[in-house]
Amino acid sequence: MSTPILWIVVPGVIAFVLIFLLRRRTISMIVAILTALILSGLAWWLEVGEVITFGPWAFKIQEQLTVAGRSFVISNLDRPQVALFYIVLAFWFIGALGISTPPLFIPLGLASVAIWIAALAVQPILYAALLIEVAVLLSVLMLTPIGKSVNRGVLRFLTYQTLGVPFILLAGWFLSGIEVEAGNTQDIVRAAIFLGFGFAFHLGIFPLHGWIPMLTETAHPYVTAFVISTMISIGVLFPVGFMQRYPSLYEEIDLLDIFRFLGILMVLVGGAWAAFQRHLGRILGFAMILETGRTFLTIGLPEGDQMLFALYIPRILALGVWAFSLSNLKAHSEDLRFHAVQGLGRKYPIIGAGLVLAQFSLVGIPLLGGFPTYLILWEQSAVYGVWISLGAVLGSAGLLIGGLRSLAVLVMGPEEVSGPQDDRGRIFSNIIILLGVSAMFIIGIFPQWFVPALTSISGTFGSLTP
Partner 1 sequence: MNVTAVAPFAVVWVGITALILLVSRDWRVSITALGAQYVGIFIFVALVWPVEYAVVKLITGWISAAILGMGLVDSAEAWEDQLGGWVSGTLFRFFIAGFVGFVAFALTPSVARWVLRASEVQIMAGLLLIGLGLFHLGLTAQPVRIIIGLLTVLSGFEIFYATMETSLLVNAMLAVVTLGLALTGSYFNAAGLEGGT
Sole binder of partner 1 in the list 23, 50, 56, 149 (CB under 8 A): 149
Sole binder of partner 1 in the list 56, 147, 207, 247 (CB under 8 A): 147
Q: Toward partner 1, which CB reaches closer, 28 or 144?
A: 144
Do residues 317 and 401 lie in contact, with contact meaning Cβ atoms separated by under 8 Å? no
Q: Does 146 bind partner 1 (CB under 8 A)?
A: yes
Q: How far is the CB of 112 from partner 1 (least distance, A)?
A: 13
**The 3-state secondary structure of the chain, one letter per residue:** CEHHHHHHHHHHHHHHHHHCCCCCHHHHHHHHHHHHHHHHHHHHHCCCCCEEEECCEEEECECEEEECCEEEECCCCCHHHHHHHHHHHHHHHHHHCCCCCCCCHHHHHHHHHHHHHHHHHEECHHHHHHHHHHHHHHHHHHHCCCCCCCCHHHHHHHHHHHHHHHHHHHHHHHHHHHHHCCCCHHHHHHHHHHHHHHHHHHHCCCCCCCHHHHHHHHCCHHHHHHHHHHHHHHHCHHHHHHHHHCCHHHHHCCHHHHHHHHHHHHHHHHHHHHHHCCEHHHHHHHHHHHHHHHHHHHHCCCCHHHHHHHCHHHHHHHHHHHHHHHHHHHHHCCCCEHHHHCCHHHHCHHHHHHHHHHHHHHHCCCCCCHHHHHHHHHHHHHCCCHHHHHHHHHHHHHHHHHHHHHHHHHHCCCCCCCCCCCCHHHHHHHHHHHHHHHHHHHHHHCHHHCHHHHHHHHHHHCCCCC
The residue range among 92-100, 151-159, 256-264, 306-314 that interacts with partner 1, by the rule CB under 8 A, is 151-159
Q: Does 150 bind partner 1 (CB under 8 A)?
A: yes
Q: How many residues bind partner 1 (CB under 8 A)?
A: 32
Q: Does 163 bind partner 1 (CB under 8 A)?
A: yes
Q: Toward partner 1, which CB reaches closer, 140 or 265?
A: 140
Q: Does 19 bind partner 1 (CB under 8 A)?
A: no
Do residues 229 and 288 lie in contact, with contact meaning Cβ atoms separated by under 8 Å? yes
Let me know the angle formed at the C-alpha of 82 by 244 and 59, rounded to the nearest 5 degrees: 110
Sole binder of partner 1 in the list 24, 60, 148, 332 (CB under 8 A): 148
Sole binder of partner 1 in the list 41, 77, 127, 331 (CB under 8 A): 127
**How far apart are alpha carbons 248 and 429 in whole angstroms?**
51
Q: Does 137 bind partner 1 (CB under 8 A)?
A: yes
The residue range among 86-94, 138-146, 232-240, 283-291 that interacts with partner 1, by the rule CB under 8 A, is 138-146
Q: Toward partner 1, which CB reaches closer, 134 or 253?
A: 134
Phi, psi (rounded to 5 degrees) for 62: -85, 155
Sole binder of partner 1 in the list 78, 133, 217, 291 (CB under 8 A): 133
The residue range among 82-90, 164-172, 221-229, 411-419 that interacts with partner 1, by the rule CB under 8 A, is 164-172
The residue range among 162-170, 209-217, 263-271, 303-311 that interacts with partner 1, by the rule CB under 8 A, is 162-170
Q: How far is the CB of 77 from partner 1 (least distance, A)?
A: 25
The residue range among 160-168, 282-290, 301-309, 454-462 that interacts with partner 1, by the rule CB under 8 A, is 160-168
Q: Toward partner 1, which CB reaches closer, 109 or 314?
A: 109
The upper half-sphere exposure of residue 347, i.e. CA atoms within 13 Å in the direction of its Cβ, equals: 16
**How far apart are alpha carbons 414 and 435 in whole angstroms?**
31
Q: How far is the CB of 231 from partner 1 (least distance, A)?
A: 17
Phi, psi (rounded to 5 degrees) for 440: -65, -40
Buried b (16+ CB within 10 A) or exposed e, 341-350: bbbbbbbbeb
Q: Does 158 bind partner 1 (CB under 8 A)?
A: yes
The residue range among 16-24, 42-50, 137-145, 342-350 that interacts with partner 1, by the rule CB under 8 A, is 137-145
Q: Toward partner 1, which CB reaches closer, 172 or 263?
A: 172
Site map 68..107 versus partner 1, x via CB under 8 A = xxx-------------------------------------
Sole binder of partner 1 in the list 46, 169, 401, 417 (CB under 8 A): 169
Q: How far is the CB of 262 from partner 1 (least distance, A)?
A: 24
Q: How far is the CB of 126 from partner 1 (least distance, A)?
A: 7
Sole binder of partner 1 in the list 10, 22, 155, 258 (CB under 8 A): 155
Q: Toward partner 1, which CB reaches closer, 119 or 377?
A: 119
Q: How far is the CB of 232 from partner 1 (least distance, A)?
A: 22
Do residues 93 and 34 lie in contact, with contact meaning Cβ atoms separated by under 8 Å? no
Do residues 238 and 195 lie in contact, with contact meaning Cβ atoms separated by under 8 Å? no
Q: Does 349 bind partner 1 (CB under 8 A)?
A: no
Q: Toward partner 1, which CB reaches closer, 125 or 275?
A: 125
The residue range among 84-92, 154-162, 309-317, 371-379 that interacts with partner 1, by the rule CB under 8 A, is 154-162
Binding residues (CB under 8 A) for partner 1: these are 67-70, 126-127, 130-131, 133-134, 137, 140-141, 144-150, 152, 155, 158-159, 162-163, 165-166, 169-170, 173, 190
